[in-house]
Amino acid sequence: MLQVVINSVVYASEIAIIAIGVSLCYSILRFTNFAHIQLAIVGGYLAYTFASIPGLPLPVAVLLSAIATGLIAVLVDVIVFSRIRNISPEGKMIVSWGVALFIRSMVAAIYGGSAKVFDVPTEVVVMQGAVFTTLDVTVVAVTLVLMVALHAFLYRTRVGSALRALASNYDLAVTRGIPGDRLIRLMWFLSGALAAVGGSLIAMQTRLQPSLDLIILLPVFAAVTIGGISNVFGAVIGAIVLSFAQNLLVWIDFGMIFTGKPWHIPTQFRDYIAVLALLIVLLMKSSRSTGGKK
Amino acid sequence: MLRATDISLSFGGLKALSKVSVEAAPGAVTGLIGPNGSGKSTLLNVIAGVYVPDEGTVTLNGEPLPLGRPERVAQRGVGRTFQVPKLAHRLTVFQNMLAGEKDHCGETLAGIFLRPGKVARQEREAAERADSILRRLGMAHKANDLAGSLSGGQQKLLTMGMLLMADPAVLLLDEPAAGVNPVLIEQQVEFLKTLRDEGRIVILIEHNMDMIANVCDRVFVLDAGSLIAAGTPADIRADETVIRSYLGQPAVPREQP
Amino acid sequence: MIDFAIYLVTVAAIWSVLAISLNLQFGMTGLVNFGQILPFGIGAYAAGIGASLGYPWWVGAIAAIVFAPLCSLAVVFPTRRLSQDYWALITLAAAEIFRLTMLNTPSVAGGADGVMVPRFGSSTTALVVSLALLAVSFLVAERISRSPFGRMLRVLREDEVLASTLGRNPMRYQASVSMVAWIMGAAAGIAYGHFSGYVAPTSFTVTETFIIWTAVILGGPGRNIGVICGAIIIQVLGVSSRFVAQWVDLPSDLVANLRLALFGLLLVVMFIYRPQGLVPERREVRNAARD
């Protein structure tokens, strides 16, 4: 059981950092940015590139990648999304897929399709029958630090409060003198940087390849949906709920309970659990909104 | 006869309507007035089937309306407009009018593939009706313009024309005169009078008191979700409670110094 | 040379059918479907699985044609009351789940290796079947587009509330058009399966869905001829880029990725600067003798 908790926490951390960026973007710009996943991939690849500079420690590489990816995200806003502030949300979603396709393909073109492995020094730890690695600990620690920092930023600084004002009522905040455009760029930077860290961590845990985007697509969006798409820290809660649901359901020996022979849900079916969770949450939302829509 | 009886509706903690009862007779225009936030649009939305009230019923000629299902209420012959006119902006005026056609057999897959002749016939009849309504509204020359290119006032007229395609028994009009120039308002007034003379039930939300006085036979006044007065326009104009609710104070000082 | 032309036209025809199927849903009705590769995959896999189980070709074909529209209902009905963002996500998830299922069931669907599908007798047969499919799809889509049904689809696209104010139930229309569109997608998938002879999960990812989207946005959302043009342009770009790769001696992977990047760029640029596409929707003009 401890193993389940550990696995869940680690996985939730990786997903949460990336999912937060989606909610951040939605809360201010009111559309689901499907290109966000690609920023995580870019972050992973940039971290790999920086890390291959001799003498550059891995954490610095990740930091540099975060900054670079944040800047790329701002660039994307400047070139694309700032021109379409006034189109429908569906339009923005469609455009975000065009951007996603472009970014993904360029990454694959530049780096090639073969998988790359991070050279991360990590040790295995065994504690009370549960197995994890020092990298796992790093992942969770980094996520915690980032969450706390983000929360402090949003709730205890003036700039953070301005961002929250924009999120709750954009037009009103702008008339009160809050610089919407500049803060939007800041939001993109934060989103991109967070995504980069998340992508790097996942790449370090597994492997770095362009198809990583498909692997994290469903869990990230499931987490965002479960937590409520415009709720920034809801994404974190969504990630935790999703991760526990996945790991728990895979761990439970359904076979023993029902037939007396051991049988587990195969781990490949974790994604089904993600989609199932997504569907259940959405169906609950949709039934709550009948008979009284505005 | 349209009757809304004891309608109450709350949104969260906010009581939008408290036991409001109105009725509208055929061959008459019934006005619904009140300060902003008094619940007029909410009541209209209840009658139109958009909201299900917490209490109360709405009946048309004795039959209750299927509240909460706006398309079913519309199918019973209740047409409505919106404060900001709802149109298909990228379709032409004429296409918008045709969209108002009721029970078009050409709107089913079976119809268009298995009965093309019948569909063509209904389309022709609908086109003729649309032509005549557009002429009545003075908009025939705009038939091929995109609906989005019309002025606000013309868009409002168009929405009323679209309603008329379905030959509705009831029309619910939400501030048709808002933001419309006086010439078009005149046209709207004439149009409303013909609707009345055709024996339809017309319920009109308006802030334009001239229009109300000009065209309404009966007026209901709402304030803060409650009905505070009902009567002819002349009655209402003289009613103290109405004046106070609109202005927040008596219109004429009671005591002379 | 002739062989190559036949190949190109066949592929272009199949993708044109897919583009039309998305045009019906998005171009005409405003349904943002991010999983249109799903019915295509159902068709292709039905062809392959049916064959691997030993059934004649029409069993798989009929199964796909019946199953795909039912699937579309499962996706449209329960979730239509949700906002567009969530609905788009559901269509995406549905397509991904299908791909994952095919990937993870090696006994039934061949897993990552996919399934073999018996090929058409000759490339000419493939061409004729695909063109016939395109012709039927085009005629059906045009009939829908120019009918009162199509008009109401466009009203739904512009404003769903307007449609219900006019007494229409939006879900009925969305369900009908989705079923037709998914049948078309499945038919395209069946044709594709028998044409390529081989069906694997890598052909049915999100990327493929967005190639269809690029064809629609580029060609002209709402205009059937337009999206056919878009599909043809996409295929020509695809084929010519492979030529360029051989000629300039670049690795084909790199060129494939650059091509996809170009599609993404096209999608963005067209949507921002010419959202009506290369061939815009016709404006229906009323020309009765009036005065």
pLDDT at B249: 45
Q: Which residues pair with B32 in a beta bridge?
A: B205, B220
Q: How far C245 CA lies from chain B's nearest CA (Å)? A: 43
Q: How far C286 CA lies from chain B's nearest CA (Å)? A: 6
Q: CB under 8 Å to A69, separation ≥6 — which residues?
A: A39, A42, A43, A46, A192, A193, A195, A196
> Which chain C residue has the Cα nearest residue A291?
C81
pLDDT at A287: 67
CB distance from A292 to chain B under 8 Å?
yes
Q: How far A63 CA lies from chain C's nearest CA (Å)? A: 27
Q: With 50 as the cut, is the pLDDT of residue B250 above it?
A: no
Subunit contact A93:C85, Cβ cutoff 8 A: yes
Asked if C60 and C187 touch (Cβ cutoff 8 Å), the reply is no
Q: Of C26, C18, C13, which Cα lies nearest the Cα of C174?
A: C26
Roughly how many angstroms between the first and final C-alpha of chain A, as a whole number?
46
Subunit contact C148:B107, Cβ cutoff 8 A: yes
Consecutive H or E run containing C134: helix C123-145
Q: How far B230 CA lies from chain C's nearest CA (Å)? A: 28
CB distance from B164 to chain C under 8 Å?
no
What are the mean pLDDT values of chain A's consecutive 10-residue runs (294 residues total)? 85 92 91 94 93 86 94 95 90 94 93 80 75 86 92 90 87 85 92 94 87 89 88 90 86 74 75 82 70 38
Angle between helices C206-219 and C224-248 (to 10 degrees): 120
Q: Which chain C positions have a beta carbon within 8 Å of B144's beta carbon? A: 283, 285-286
Q: Which chain C positions have a beta carbon within 8 Å of A81's beta carbon? A: none
- The CA distance from A273 to A279, in Å, is 10
DSSP string covering chain B, please?
-EEEEEEEEEETTEEEEEEEEEEE-TTEEEEEE-STTSSHHHHHHHHTTSS--SEEEEEETTEEP-TT-HHHHHHTTEEE--SS----TTSBHHHHHHHT-SS-GGGSHHHHHH-HHHHHHHHHHHHHHHHHHHHHTT-GGGTTSBGGGS-HHHHHHHHHHHHHHT--SEEEEE-TTTT--HHHHHHHHHHHHHHHHTT-EEEEE-S-HHHHHHH-SEEEEEETTEEEEEE-HHHHHH-HHHHHHHHSS-SS-SS--
Burial classification of residue B96, based on how many CB atoms lie within 10 Å of its CB (0-12 exposed, 13-18 middle, 19 or more buried): buried
Q: Which chain A positions have a beta carbon within 8 Å of C95's beta carbon? A: none
- From residue B255, give the alpha-carbon distance in Å to each of B250, B252, C277: 11, 9, 72
Q: What is the dihedral of CA C31, C33, C38, C40, to 10 degrees?
A: 70
> Which chain C residue has the Cα nearest residue B126?
C148
List C residues 83-142 in contact with B (Cβ-Cβ < 8 A): 140
CB distance from A265 to chain C under 8 Å?
no
Phi, psi of B52 (to 5 degrees): -95, 120
Q: Which chain B positions have a beta carbon within 8 Å of A293's beta carbon? A: 50
Report how many Cβ contacts below 8 Å link chain A to chain C.
133
DSSP letter at C80 equals T
pLDDT at A263: 73
Q: Collapsing DSSP states into helix, strand and coil, what is residue A292?
A: coil
Subunit contact C155:B88, Cβ cutoff 8 A: yes
CB distance from B148 to chain A under 8 Å?
no
> Would you write out chain C's pLDDT as a tens digit for each of its 291 residues?
788 889 999 999 999 999 999 999 999 999 999 999 999 999 999 999 988 888 888 898 999 999 999 999 988 777 667 777 888 888 998 999 899 888 888 887 777 888 888 888 888 889 999 999 999 999 999 999 999 999 999 999 999 899 999 999 998 999 999 999 999 999 999 999 999 988 999 889 999 999 999 999 999 999 999 999 999 999 999 988 888 888 888 888 888 899 999 999 999 999 999 999 999 998 888 765 443
Consecutive H or E run containing C115: strand C115-116
pLDDT at C14: 96
Q: What is the ipTM of this complex?
A: 0.91
* Residue environment code for A191-212, b if the CB has 16+ CB neighbours within 10 A, otherwise e: bbbbbbbbbbbbbbbeebbbeb
Q: Highest mean pLDDT range out of B102-106, B140-144, C39-43, C76-80?
A: C39-43
> Which chain C residue has the Cα nearest residue A76?
C268
Tokens of B71: 């398309």
- Chains near C with 3+ CB pairs less than 8 A apart are A, B
Subunit contact B52:A293, Cβ cutoff 8 A: no
CB distance from A78 to chain C under 8 Å?
no
Q: With 60 as the cut, is the pLDDT of residue B248 above it?
A: no
Q: Of C182, C148, C183, which Cα lies nearest the Cα of C168?
A: C148
Q: Which of A193-202, A215-224, B89-98, B248-257 has the weakest average pLDDT?
A: B248-257
Q: With 70 as the cut, is the pLDDT of residue B88 above it?
A: yes
Domain positions in chain C are: 2-204
Q: What is the mean pLDDT of residues B76-103?
A: 92
> Which chain B residue has the Cα nearest residue C289?
B131
Single-letter amino acid, residue A13 = S
- The CA distance from C279 to C231, in Å, is 12
- From residue B245, give the alpha-carbon distance in Å to each of B42, B205, B229, C26: 18, 17, 11, 49
Burial classification of residue A288, based on how many CB atoms lie within 10 Å of its CB (0-12 exposed, 13-18 middle, 19 or more buried): exposed
Which one of B65, B67, B76, B91 would you mutate to disrupt binding with C, by most C Cβ within 10 Å of its Cβ?
B91
Domain positions in chain A are: 2-212
CB distance from B243 to chain C under 8 Å?
no
Subunit contact C148:B75, Cβ cutoff 8 A: no
- Chains near B with 3+ CB pairs less than 8 A apart are A, C
- The CA distance from C251 to C245, in Å, is 7
Tokens of C182: 């998914």
Q: CB under 8 Å to C289, separation ≥6 — which residues?
A: none
Asked if A101 and A39 touch (Cβ cutoff 8 Å), the reply is no
